[in-house]
Amino acid sequence: MTPPPRRRRSTGAPERSYPRRGSVRRAQMITTYGVGSLVAVDNESFIVSGIDSWNVSEAPTIRENRLERVLGVRSFKLPPASDDTSRDGVHVRRFPLWHSCPNCHALQPVARFNSPPGKNECGDCDEELVPSRFVMACAHGHLDDFPYWKWAHRGNGSGAGPCGGEMRLRSTGKTSSLRSILVSCSCGIPEVSMEGAFRSAALADLKVLCRGKRPWLGNAPDEDCSERPRTLQRGSSVVWQPIVRTALSIPPHSSGQASRLEPHMDDLRTMDDDAMKVYLRVLAIQLKYEFSVEAVRALIAAESRGVDPDQGQEDSAFHELRRQEYKTLIVGQPESGTDHEEQFVCEPPRSSASVLHPYGVVGPMLVKRLREVRVLKAFSRVDTPETNTDVHEAELSLAPTDWLPAMEVQGEGVFLRLDEERVDEWARNTAVAARADRLRANHLRLMRERAKDSANVPDSPASPRMVLLHTLAHVLINEWSLDGGYPAASLRERLYVDDSMAGLLISTATSDSAGSLGGLVAQGEPDKLAASLRSALIRAQWCSADPLCVESEGGGVGGINLAACHACVLLPETSCEHYNGLLDRALLIGTPEDPSVGFFAGVGQV
């Protein structure tokens, strides 16, 4: 990322200087270490504070009109960068507060250890303290320290009040299981292990209620909460699940003119043509850039055709964003006639695509320039959007803000579609429908098992068309990681699937050196794409785990994959929109017993 301009703070009171605790990449503030997440720094643990505590006065602003309207904000901002001499950056708070000493085994809140200033050490032993491995969280996003005292004193008739004893925590070292982690108290109760602490009803049995704590929001008041808290490991993935929304920049909002006009659109929307001409002349002098009334009117018209989140469900609004992108990718936008600041260039290949027709691939497009904006909208704990239609979205700030943290990726990609008539004809095959129904049933069962309310789970997206396109995207990414020199983790899929869409976009997913050097676009030329498809499908015919893999009745978590494993189809999770689920290479190449199940069966050597 380009560093922010040099800071100028010549007036006003000096800002408070906070100690620097560590660093993460800006992109990780959206996907891995966002607001409310726990970050381990050396032997310490911190929680990332809300965005209302961030100093974003000099953070670069990111604009993406379509996404801003759906999310109801005015702009997006990159997380603030900082260095050793700056006083801004992302603030963190110590969490969990309970620590233990590995030497004297004392277990208590960190403030009671009398640590030397600036250090996280036991005041008696000079040993570095260890943050609690366990926390408790609820599905409403609340987070709190694990109730060690109640856990140790359960069943001992000690009542709800403190006994006056000192807590101890030690590990026998015999095994790595919870049975080897022992908690005791100097009041004389028997030593107990942590075994059973992760049962869903473990805390409820102790009559431990959620206190509505929101430590990432500082001094936020506790909320009333009726949710049942659960014990989680501090590093568990369900302690913090980001809710990220993405969109591609497409015309007319992808032009350099649109990016310059964006801060002024509120004024321009209210003007007639004469007033707009005067306004644009003044703006042209200030910005040294020529503007036209026609371009402004086109932007306003595009907004009126855009998505209005107030008119329906948010999910349908984001689905409509995909539809708009799909239509734009089909039509394309040639590089000729656009300025060098245009963020979307999409052209058909120079050679004939007839070589792809046997594969059922139509309309390949070379996306020579694209921009994807990824926004951290909220986060969840315990529940995930994949397992609950009504997942609680924890807030990023105590007070409402008109911006959200985001990142942008400039890159390139290849877009291709499958012949919908051929896909529909193939999907009517009884064996094909049976495999897709099995995936769908397994997926729905998994969601019901994980959901708090089994009657309120989202519908599974698994269908023959979806599983086919999803698995095809995976084998192509794997192929290009071998043939094109791209690490699989630097490529990302974007699926366009419903009754009227059957396409996929594979694009660069990082902003580093594997970004936009033209190598991925070169793979989209019909001759190379046909060779890649042929090679990928031949590789998909055999897996080192066969026959177990191809004959699998359900693989992965919850059995939401069929013929798919790490040896053949699975990708780094950052490259996949569905967390490496809903995959079946048999729908590409068939099974030994029934080759007709494969969409590409009989093509070339497949």
Give tens-digit pLDDT for 504-529.
999 986 655 444 555 889 899 999 99
Q: What percent of the chain has pLDDT over 70?
A: 88
Residue 271 pLDDT:
82
**Model pLDDT for residues 185-220, shown as the tens digit of each residue:** 988 888 999 999 999 889 988 899 999 999 999 889
Q: What is the mean pLDDT of the chain?
A: 85
Nearest to 25 by CA among 578, 510, 574, 402: 510
The pLDDT of residue 12 is above 60: no
Half-sphere exposure of 395 (CA within 13 A, CB side): 13
Query: The pTM is what?
Result: 0.86
- Separation of alpha carbons 394 and 380, rounded Å: 6
Residue 528 pLDDT:
93
3-state secondary structure of 528: helix
- Separation of alpha carbons 376 and 161, rounded Å: 41
Torsion of Cα atoms, 251 then 253 then 255 then 260, to 10°:
170
The pLDDT of residue 88 is above 80: no
- 284 vs 279, 287, 318, 335, 584, CA distance in Å? 9, 5, 34, 24, 55
Residue type at 387 in one-letter notation: T
The pLDDT of residue 84 is above 70: no
Average pLDDT over residues 122-133: 90
- Separation of alpha carbons 87 and 521, rounded Å: 42
State the pLDDT confidence band at 282, using cuts at 50, 70 and 90. confident
The pLDDT of residue 230 is above 60: yes
The pLDDT of residue 4 is above 70: no
Residue 86 pLDDT:
60
- Separation of alpha carbons 418 and 398, rounded Å: 47
Nearest to 322 by CA among 592, 550, 66: 66
Can you read off the two tokens belonging to residue 414? 């290849």
- Separation of alpha carbons 232 and 134, rounded Å: 6
The pLDDT of residue 34 is above 60: yes
The pLDDT of residue 150 is above 80: yes
- 243 vs 96, 141, 157, 395, 464, CA distance in Å? 23, 12, 43, 11, 27
Residue 233 pLDDT:
94
Give, for 481, the enclosing helix (H) or strand (E). helix 464-483
225, exposed or middle or buried, with CB in 10 Å at 0-12, 13-18, 19+? middle
Residue type at 298 in one-letter notation: A
Residue type at 150 in one-letter notation: K
Contact 536/478 with Cβ under 8 angstroms? yes
Instruction: Look at the chain and count its residues.
Output: 606
577, exposed or middle or buried, with CB in 10 Å at 0-12, 13-18, 19+? middle
State the pLDDT confidence band at 459, using cuts at 50, 70 and 90. confident
Residue 13 pLDDT:
38
The pLDDT of residue 9 is above 70: no
State the pLDDT confidence band at 151, using cuts at 50, 70 and 90. very high
The pLDDT of residue 372 is above 60: yes
Residue 7 pLDDT:
44
Decide which of 449 and 99 is more confident.
99
- Separation of alpha carbons 148 and 130, rounded Å: 15
- Separation of alpha carbons 94 and 88, rounded Å: 18
